[in-house]
Structure 1
């Protein structure tokens, strides 16, 4: 089947796919909101119905009381490779509707984008899988299992149990995880590394109770000043992470233009970048530490009091090649060494997620790169790192060690996933659908077990 034939097939099914995607976006499947649990269930039922309509055997399942997930399966010819297609149907909270230019759960086309919560992350991932399956129809010459999770946006807490429970039904030669993005509009990517996550709450205590700042200031250190010194110790004067023992490594040789960095990060024109080394290393393959929360008295109404304790949440991204166990130990040792004046340190690990480095070599990756290059009219995909974390990918790698894991997606630098005005670039979405259709068509020639 020629590229032109496959493009024509994708274009023929896209209007229906667009309708299906819009119907999914209208379902408020916010997994973080217990009041909308019925919407998450309704979303799973809608996804199940879509794949059942393509002739798949479908069911809704869960584990350990987790959110509903959909498993759909269609066997291939005898001896054909088995492919697992992953996406998730839950979405982030929409937060303040006033921040949106269009209603968050009413899909709205404006310019070259379709706006709405989940229009990209990750209901478009579901739609891309559906488009490839629908475009190939009876010419689908591989075994396909679709696995659509329902709690990715709240940390996939029950996913490990679910993968163990369903392992024999989810086994595959190739796993396509459609929950990442592309390098830019017109430039595809395979995500091959992700930083890990360690979140820690620390508490600094200097007194048993609050005292008057005039009576005791100058002798007794207050907890806020002490906490500030501890936080300041986490970086050197250039902004590099100063915690000893953390891993760092090289990144792909990819240019990240200054104007794009400013636009995407929202950094003020006056801000100088922190750290040293190539930009993509600082974003993908070196550790980063941020303070994402503080418990302290508000400025308005603050009294002249030495506060006895203060807390901060430390969010640390760790480089591929490091482990969360090492990162926690290094951070604890650093903090203990840098608490001044005999203050007491409390240290609580909130959550962790391992860093990922994928060996993106072998026949399945060659087939994927060729499919992307053709779909993007000769533009080869970038091997892209991601500074954030998708901890569930490590679960797939660990549960199915023999499978080739391809991390793809529909997002682009202006998708604004998790924020207001989340939008799907429609032309890029079509390319994603063409690429996945080519991928599934060409994986039919893959030798099972030789991915």
Structure 2
């Protein structure tokens, strides 16, 4: 198996490079035909493995609309001789590139330097797609006719845009997606040498908040000092969301009590890019702040631009609030706590409007299952280092949908990223050795699951 994995890595990286060149972005302002190209390319790769009985490119409806979601790839292989079925998930859509000037090489031109491949989607999550494909190739080459394991490959096309049709896709394809274990290859590792199995994820609550204080703009010289403008009210209101240490100060947002591994401020500074002289925020262990406590970030604002600034009291200001919710608390409850807090603290009687609510629940893995043990063992053998159980500060809300739809399946959240991958940021990259180890891990897991007997 190790030889099959090693010999297949160059081909897998070449195929990854081809995928990175396709700018498949699900935002409506981008060319949506690129997502069709991307799905077709992934389907072709799945077909070429020879492992599947059927490979399809499908779209599901977006609930509450007449629209269809983005194209997803669904490839299926029925289990034989009482063997289990494993579902392998990743997504082929990517984040927008942002400012091209911030990239050291073009975002959609894969570039290898210093042991890393740079490009948008090189890590998140086209490397996840190729880890699945490369592992299936290696297993097929090694086991040939002895491969009885059921394998389903589900490559989504809109994860970065909220997985709007995900639930409907599950409903439309329930029988094809049903599995004994589900590998979600969309997370990270402890570092570039040490694998991680993600056992907890924070939830997410995102909404748009508009603050109004005037029915029209007024001269700041004529009325400033007596009339609160919307920007002043917004600043004072948002400041109530955090205490003096930067911890969330919203009553009703929960904190999970769980131990975390040792992690230094020096490591945080290196991995996050924290500037010299800027202090970390929050209290408790650093990883507890990232894994087990809520966080609130203002990720967008509509206000007068610097170039268009004038001596005017603004009547309204709009911000986008993105919150991370501690594992174990529902996103709905966390949002309710934030809305109540903001309404109670609206300064000067400012009028608040809430819209565009998007909620996703967190996730806690049941680590008692046999598939979890098999995954840890495969990681140790492939990397040569025992894995670390990780919490992740980010969110993968659709996992809650998988748990609800397939309560008997064991969920295994893995990934190919390391802390320096910079997913969603300029100069996103994949550590090549981590990719090689991730493929080796999954190939071993598939091989060992092929030996499991679920029925007599």
TM-score, normalising length: structure 2: 0.93
Aligned partners of 2:230 and 2:315 also within 8 Å? yes
List alignment gaps of at least 5 residues for structure 2.
62-67
Aligned mates of 2:201, 2:134 — CA distance in 1: 27
Separation in 1, partners of 2:259, 2:196? 12
Contact 2:209/2:318 (CA < 8 Å) preserved in 1? yes
Counterpart of 2:43 (choices 43, 48, 58) is 48
- The separation in 2 between residues aligned to 1:226 and 1:36, in whole angstroms, is 39
Aligned to 1:32: 27
Structure 1 ranges of 4+ moved more than 4 A: none
User: 1:296 Cα deviation (Å)?
Assistant: 2.3
Whether the aligned pair in 1 keeps the contact of 2:263 and 2:286 (CA below 8 Å) is: yes
For residue 335 of structure 1, give the secondary structure of its aligned residue in structure 2.
helix
Partner of 2:55: 58
Quote the offset at 1:284 in angstroms: 1.1
Deviation of residue 292 (structure 1)?
1.7
1:29-64 per-residue CA deviation (whole Å, 9 max, x = no partner) reads 222255532221122111111121222121111111
Distance in 1 (alpha carbons) for counterparts of 2:247 and 2:116: 37
Correspondence for 1:124: 127
Task: State the partner residue of 1:110.
Answer: 113
Aligned residues: 444
Give the TM-score taking structure 1 as reference length.
Answer: 0.94
**d(CA) in 1 for partners of 2:283, 2:191:** 24
Change (3 A) 1:216 1:32: closer
Secondary structure in 2 matching 1:341: helix
- Report what 2:65 is aligned to: none
For 2:166 and 2:409, locate their aligned partners in 1 and report how far apart those are by CA, in whole Å. 18
SS of 1:270 mapped into structure 2: coil
Matched residue of 2:426: which SS? coil
Give the whole-Å Cα distance in 2 for the aligned partners of 1:54 and 1:341. 64
Q: Does the C-alpha gap of structure 1 residues 39 and 203 become closer, same or farther in structure 2, counting only changes over 3 Å?
A: closer
Report whether the alignment pairs 1:205 with 2:212: yes
- Residue 288 (structure 1) aligned with residue 285 (structure 2): no
**Do the aligned residues in 1 keep the contact of 2:103 with 2:426 (CA within 8 Å)?**
yes
How has the CA–CA distance of structure 1 residues 388 and 211 changed in structure 2, closer, same or farther, with 3 Å as cutoff?
same
Q: In structure 2, how many angstroms separate the alpha carbons of the residues matched to 1:406 and 1:383?
A: 11
Whether the 8 Å contact between 1:287 and 1:316 is mirrored in structure 2 is: yes
* Deviations 1:142-162, CA, capped at 9 Å, x for gaps: 111111111112111111101
Specify which of 421, 437, 441 is matched with residue 435 of structure 1.
Answer: 441
Alpha-carbon contact 1:82-1:448 (below 8 Å) kept: no
Q: How does 1:303-314 map to 2 (within 5 A)?
A: 303-314=310-321
In the alignment, is the contact (CA less than 8 A) between 1:364 and 1:446 conserved in 2?
Answer: no
